[in-house]
């Protein structure tokens, strides 16, 4: 008999406390995920599993690799006609990154079920990749991924676009949040997670208590950020707010409660529309920050620390976004090559 999931969220005081899909094994796994991941990741995993089992329609213990490939085909099926594909990844169905994330969520579930050894699942049906074509290749090397995700460069905002966006914001709170992202490089969750005790105005620093991967860091930020935060705390933040979170709801039934991710996105979408901009997401503001810092000559290692990247490879992205740096490096090298070529044959060989 097939299994049809039903995603149910239980919340208290606007905080999600429990997510279930109506199957004991899946619900146990969601409890496991909740203990080690952020709420957004928790929700994403739950939704990915819901989609997978809606398509497959089987009990977890009887899912096979063939079912996984059938799911992959269903996700890649054209959504808007056979001839309509995205320029970004050439896909006609869901975005490659979305499909890869869903496969990762399912693979994580089966890794957990295999590790338990009491679920009837002894093999992960989601292969990490297809076998390498070269005979004798080492396991895990040279395999073909199930889904190829494009390595695209993120878009950043021009200085005029940042100014237009900031001018379209209506409160000191909103300007403080945007400044923290575009001048300090904070992630959306890091901005919303700031507590009053995390602010160090005298040193112009912020303490990020819950960065990505659970990493903490102290980051310097511009005086403009603290000016906006100070104006917000003095004139807008409700004195009766019971939370220690810096940024709270200013109006309505939830006045004084922590601002949600959806609330911040709504604020940014409204400002973007008023400013006449096509795009302006929280992540684009963060990318804009590090691109401008790199263009201004900030060392890559310093940007890594500011960004909270676990690997310098993540930070190298900003070498490609900082066009001025690339142009200067090219002109310097090209000039040296041309000067060498212009020398007489005898001098060039010395």
Active site (catalytic) residues: 187, 212, 283, 286, 309, 318
CA distance 39 to 17: 9
Residues in contact with 31: Cβ distance below 8 Å, sequence separation at least 6, in sequence order: none
CA distance 281 to 156: 10
Give the side-chain half-sphere CA count within 13 A for 35. 6
Question: Could you tell me whether strands 15-20 and 129-130 are parallel, antiparallel, or unpaired per DSSP bridges?
Answer: unpaired
H-run or E-run covering 138: none
List the Cα angle 50/88/260 in 5-degree steps. 50
Give buried/exposed letters for 222-253 (b at 16+ CB in 10 A, else e). Answer: eeebbebbeebbeeebeeebeeebbbbbbeee
């Amino acid at each position: 008999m097939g299994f049809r999931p039903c995603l149910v969220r239980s919340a208290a005081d606007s905080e999600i406390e429990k997510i279930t899909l109506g199957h004991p094994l899946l619900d146990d796994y969601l409890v496991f995920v909740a203990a080690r991941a952020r709420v957004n990741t928790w929700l994403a995993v739950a939704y990915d599993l819901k989609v997978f089992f809606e398509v497959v329609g089987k009990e977890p213990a009887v899912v096979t690799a063939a079912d996984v490939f059938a799911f992959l085909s269903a996700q890649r099926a054209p959504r808007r006609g056979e001839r309509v594909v995205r320029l970004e990844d050439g896909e006609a169905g869901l975005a490659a990154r979305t499909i890869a994330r869903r496969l990762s969520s399912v693979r994580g579930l089966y890794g957990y079920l295999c590790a338990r050894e009491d679920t009837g699942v002894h093999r992960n049906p989601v292969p990490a990749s297809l076998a390498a074509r070269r005979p004798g290749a080492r396991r895990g090397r040279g395999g073909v991924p199930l889904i190829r995700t494009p390595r695209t460069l993120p878009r950043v905002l021009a200085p005029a676009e940042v100014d237009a966006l900031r001018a379209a914001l209506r409160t000191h709170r909103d300007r403080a949040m945007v400044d923290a992202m575009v001048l300090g490089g904070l992630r959306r969750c890091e901005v919303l997670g700031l507590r009053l005790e995390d602010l160090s105005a005298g040193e112009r620093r912020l303490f990020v208590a819950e960065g990505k991967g659970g990493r903490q860091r102290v980051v310097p930020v511009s005086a403009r950020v603290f000016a906006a935060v100070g104006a917000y705390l003095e004139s807008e933040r409700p004195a009766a707010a019971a939370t220690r979170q810096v940024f709270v709801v200013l109006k309505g039934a939830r006045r004084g409660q922590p601002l949600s991710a959806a609330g911040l996105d709504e604020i940014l979408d409204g400002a973007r529309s008023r400013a006449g901009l096509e795009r302006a997401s929280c992540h684009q503001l963060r990318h804009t920050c590090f691109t401008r810092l790199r263009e201004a000559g900030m060392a890559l290692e310093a940007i890594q620390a500011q960004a909270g990247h676990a690997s310098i490879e993540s930070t190298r992205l900003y070498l490609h976004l900082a066009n001025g740096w690339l142009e200067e490096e090219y002109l310097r090298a090209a000039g040296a090559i041309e000067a060498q070529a212009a020398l007489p044959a005898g001098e060039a060989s010395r």
